[in-house]
């Protein structure tokens, strides 16, 4: 084993059995090495500051599917809880209130096989978006990079949401993009799904004889590692002009230059939301555009700042002098046009776009012809943490009407004193939203950004007492309630939401999760606690996060006619 040998939480006999699977250089129980695996990424602060994240008892790094299956069998034999990780961009898999779990780090499994002709790619867990796009773009094929950036695993992201800016053209549901899948069950059996029944090379289809089982692996928005380990996934790719996009600079001050013959960014300003909505509707009807996004003003100020250290100071210098009147009286629409069949298509789409914007009182602004957030998504994380922490990100998806109502409710609530005293003041311009599936669906995000230092209980000088409780109440009860009451579908239901609280409003999907879990993980060792860890966090650490108003809202939605109940 690597480093210090410690057998406090996992017995020496079990550790030796694990070591015999991967060899001594790929297992460690050293507390220093293990502490590197305490939650990182999205949501890490709330877990760290409140001592919810813990270090694993051991870390193991398998090389292939057979090793994964043998590790899981050893875990079942010795009843060792385990958590898989592909890139560990999202810390929600880490927290589990335990010290005795094995962390299965899949980063050695990083192969990819591209089938250019049939437009799909077979991926192991540790192939990241930037790596995949580096290869596929040259061959005229594209996937869908999520907001989490180019450093997240394509496979793990597909198990969760798989959503990003390209969803205007590419279906938003990652699950619909899957083909064949290889899975190690929580008991350590290897299964192959979909067209793989026709042979080991048949990765082309999600379906096959018999029922489609992909829902078992996806749950509602992922299992947080609680349903075994996906070791290979085939996912569809989509046509795009062949490109070798050259990076410039060093992250966080980097971008890719866009060749202007086929791609072009446009920024427009409008004075009100109604004009933006009309423009969006017409853009979708005209079947033009590749990315269509109503962005918040402060993203522009974040984008103007360069580099990491200077980033926050520069952002505040730009953002603070702007008044609420200025910001709320300006709406910015950002559009990427792509001439997929040639330059003539780009020119045509540009003419149509300009007509639509002019007819709806929009004004063309300057736009840099570079990309920082779509193809390789190198710097996109900056836009999620203007106050130094990821904060709250809740989402709603539905029609334009539902998104509009959600936005109006949120803006009204946000102007109330407590919100602006605790969180970044968005000055009446958020929530932002974008069109998916060529305008048939809209997606919007509700944020609350507290100051990172004020949230840190360990920071004696800066900590603001009670802020974390108000933050969690906002996140679970205020934002959560606005989303369900306006008929929107959330995006984080099994990830950073107390599942049991919201499930009655969503056809009690936890009943199905429980049934599947009991059937496939009888020892309960695959990421124990998940996908209900947020219920546990709220119960144990933030009991005030669930308000009576939220409980009433869930009850009202659960009893509505849309859930099969008689009309009242």
539 Cβ contact list (under 8 Å, min separation 6) = none
Among 86, 136, 374, 488, binds ligand FAD (CB under 6 A): 86
Please tell me the distance from the alpha carbon of residue 27 to that of residue 457, in angstroms, as a whole number: 34
Among 71, 90, 378, 538, binds ligand FAD (CB under 6 A): 90
Burial 487-505 (b: 16+ CB within 10 A, else e): bbbbbbbbbbbbbebbbbb
Among 62, 81, 162, 426, binds ligand FAD (CB under 6 A): 162
Q: How far is the CB of 185 from ligand FAD (least distance, A)?
A: 11
Closest among 102, 55, 97 to 78, alpha carbons compared: 102
SS3 of 220-263: the string is CCCCCCCCCEEEEEEEECEECCCCCCCEEEECCEEEEECCCCCE
**Which one of the spans 6-14, 146-154, 285-293, 516-524 is the region binding ligand FAD (CB under 6 A)?**
146-154
Among 22, 106, 276, 537, binds ligand FAD (CB under 6 A): 106
Contact 288, 353 (CB under 8 A): yes
Compute how many residues bind ligand FAD; rule: CB under 6 A. Answer: 37
Please tell me the distance from the alpha carbon of residue 57 to that of residue 69, in angstroms, as a whole number: 20
Closest among 463, 563, 468 to 506, alpha carbons compared: 563
**Which one of the spans 73-81, 162-170, 239-247, 416-424 is the region binding ligand FAD (CB under 6 A)?**
162-170
CA 57 to chain centre: 27
How many H helices and E strands in the chain? 22, 21
- Binding of residue 84 to ligand FAD (CB under 6 A): yes
- Binding of residue 95 to ligand FAD (CB under 6 A): no
- Binding of residue 148 to ligand FAD (CB under 6 A): yes
- Binding of residue 531 to ligand FAD (CB under 6 A): no
| C-alpha separations of 498 from 148, 158, 545, 550 in Å | 22, 22, 10, 12
- Binding of residue 153 to ligand FAD (CB under 6 A): yes
Query: According to CB under 6 A, which residues from 124 to 143 bind ligand FAD?
Result: 125
Query: According to CB under 6 A, which residues from 362 to 381 bind ligand FAD?
Result: 381
- Binding of residue 219 to ligand FAD (CB under 6 A): no
Q: Identify the helix (H) or strand (E) that includes residue 338.
A: strand 331-338
- Binding of residue 152 to ligand FAD (CB under 6 A): yes
Q: What is the DSSP letter of 509?
A: H
CA 521 to chain centre: 26
- Binding of residue 65 to ligand FAD (CB under 6 A): no
- Binding of residue 382 to ligand FAD (CB under 6 A): no
∠ CA 353-358-361, nearest 5°, is 125
3-state helix, strand, coil in the chain (%, to 5): 40, 20, 40
Query: According to CB under 6 A, which residues from 227 to 266 bind ligand FAD?
Result: 229-230
Strand arrangement, sheet containing 247-250: 247-250, 253-257, 370-371
Query: According to CB under 6 A, which residues from 465 to 524 bind ligand FAD?
Result: none
- Binding of residue 160 to ligand FAD (CB under 6 A): yes
Please tell me the distance from the alpha carbon of residue 541 to that of residue 52, in angstroms, as a whole number: 9
Compare residues 17 and 230 and give the one whose CB is closer to ligand FAD.
230
Among 1, 21, 60, 85, binds ligand FAD (CB under 6 A): 85
Q: How far is the CB of 436 from ligand FAD (least distance, A)?
A: 11
- Binding of residue 534 to ligand FAD (CB under 6 A): no
Q: How far is the CB of 41 from ligand FAD (least distance, A)?
A: 5
- Binding of residue 527 to ligand FAD (CB under 6 A): yes
Neighbours of 416 (CB within 10 A): 10
Q: How far is the CB of 256 from ligand FAD (least distance, A)?
A: 19
Compare residues 279 and 527 and give the one whose CB is closer to ligand FAD.
527
End-to-end CA distance of the chain: 65
Q: How far is the CB of 567 from ligand FAD (least distance, A)?
A: 36
Q: How far is the CB of 136 from ligand FAD (least distance, A)?
A: 18
Footprint on this chain of ligand FAD (rule: CB under 6 A)? 41-42, 83-90, 92-93, 106, 125, 146-148, 152-153, 155-157, 159-164, 222, 224-225, 229-230, 381, 384, 390, 527
């Amino acid at each position: 084993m690597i480093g210090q040998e410690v057998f406090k939480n996992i017995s020496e006999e079990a550790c030796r059995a694990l070591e015999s699977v991967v060899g001594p250089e790929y297992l460690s129980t050293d507390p220093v090495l293990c502490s590197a695996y305490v939650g990182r990424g999205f949501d890490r602060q709330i877990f760290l500051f409140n001592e919810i994240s813990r270090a694993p008892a051991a870390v193991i790094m398998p090389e292939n599917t057979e090793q994964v299956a043998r590790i899981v069998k050893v875990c079942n034999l010795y009843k060792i809880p385990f958590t898989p990780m592909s890139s560990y961009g999202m810390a929600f898999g880490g927290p589990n209130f335990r010290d005795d779990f094995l962390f299965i780090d899949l980063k050695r499994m990083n192969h990819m096989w591209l089938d250019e002709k049939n437009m799909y790619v077979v991926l192991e867990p540790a192939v990241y978006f930037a790596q995949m796009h580096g290869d596929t773009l040259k061959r005229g094929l594209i996937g869908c990079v999520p907001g989490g950036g180019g450093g997240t695993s394509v496979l793990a992201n597909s198990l969760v949401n798989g959503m990003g800016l390209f969803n205007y053209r590419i279906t938003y549901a990652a699950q619909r993009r899957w083909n064949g899948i290889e899975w190690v069950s929580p008991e350590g059996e290897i299964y192959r799904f979909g067209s793989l029944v026709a042979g080991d090379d048949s990765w082309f289809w999600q379906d096959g004889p018999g029922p489609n089982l992909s829902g078992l692996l996806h749950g509602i928005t992922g299992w947080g590692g609680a349903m075994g380990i996906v070791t290979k996934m085939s996912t569809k790719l989509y046509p795009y002009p062949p490109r070798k996009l050259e990076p410039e600079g060093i992250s966080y001050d980097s971008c890719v230059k866009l060749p202007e013959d086929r791609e072009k960014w446009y920024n427009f300003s409008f004075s009100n939301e109604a004009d933006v909505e009309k423009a969006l509707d017409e853009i979708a009807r005209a079947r033009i555009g590749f990315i269509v996004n109503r962005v918040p003003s402060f993203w522009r100020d974040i984008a103007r700042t360069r580099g990491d250290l200077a980033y926050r100071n520069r952002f505040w210098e730009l953002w603070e002098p702007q008044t609420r009147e200025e910001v709320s009286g300006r709406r910015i629409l950002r559009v990427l046009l792509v001439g997929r069949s040639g330059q003539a298509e780009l020119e045509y789409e540009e003419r149509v776009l300009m007509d639509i914007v002019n007819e709806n009182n929009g004004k063309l602004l300057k736009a840099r012809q570079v990309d920082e957030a779509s193809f390789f998504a190198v710097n996109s994380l900056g836009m999620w943490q203007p106050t130094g922490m990821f904060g709250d990100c809740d989402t709603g998806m539905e029609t334009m009407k539902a998104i509009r109502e959600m936005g109006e409710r949120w803006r009204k609530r946000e102007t109330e004193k407590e919100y602006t005293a605790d969180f970044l003041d968005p000055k009446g311009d958020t929530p932002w939203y974008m069109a998916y599936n060529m305008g048939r669906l809209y997606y919007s995000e509700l944020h609350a950004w507290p100051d990172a230092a004020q949230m840190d209980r360990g920071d004696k000088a800066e900590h603001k007492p009670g802020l974390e409780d108000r933050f969690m109440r906002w996140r679970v009860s205020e934002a959560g309630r606005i989303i369900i009451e306006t008929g929107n579908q959330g995006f984080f239901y099994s990830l950073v939401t107390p599942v049991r609280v919201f499930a009655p409003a969503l056809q009690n999907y936890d009943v199905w999760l429980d049934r599947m879990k009991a059937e496939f993980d009888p020892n309960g060792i695959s990421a124990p606690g998940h996908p209900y860890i947020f219920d546990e966090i709220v119960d144990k650490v933030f009991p005030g996060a669930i308000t009576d108003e939220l409980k009433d809202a869930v009850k009202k939605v659960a009893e509505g006619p849309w859930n099969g109940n008689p009309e009242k």
